[in-house]
Amino acid sequence: MLIDGKDVRCYRLDHLRSRMGLVMQEPTLFNYSVKENILYGNLKASNMQIKEAVDIANASEFIESQAL
């Protein structure tokens, strides 16, 4: 199996695992703010990193909507 064209056996396992995450098809929001839910994936994320994650997830419109 390859990641970015490199055999996964060439990666350090701890490093590879630290860079991976799971995104469920039916996401569950915990009973916290949107920011706290995003931070669940990285407790040390800066506000800029949170904004980047929102942009990558294409979730800005959802987060800013009145329905939320």
> Is the Cβ–Cβ distance between 68 and 62 less than 8 Å?
yes
Spell out the residues 6+ positions from residue 50 whose beta carbon is closer than 8 angstroms to its own.
Answer: 35, 38, 39
Going by C-alpha positions, the residue among 30, 8, 29, 31 that lies closest to residue 20 is 8
Please check the confidence at residue 68 and state whether its pLDDT lies above 60: no
DSSP at 8 = G
pLDDT digit string, tens, across residues 48-65: 999 999 999 898 888 888
**Cα–Cα distances in Å, from 49 out to 34, 38, 39?**
14, 10, 10
Express each pLDDT in 20-40 by its tens digit.
877 777 766 678 888 888 898
Would you say 32 and 41 are in contact if contact means Cβ atoms under 8 Å apart? no
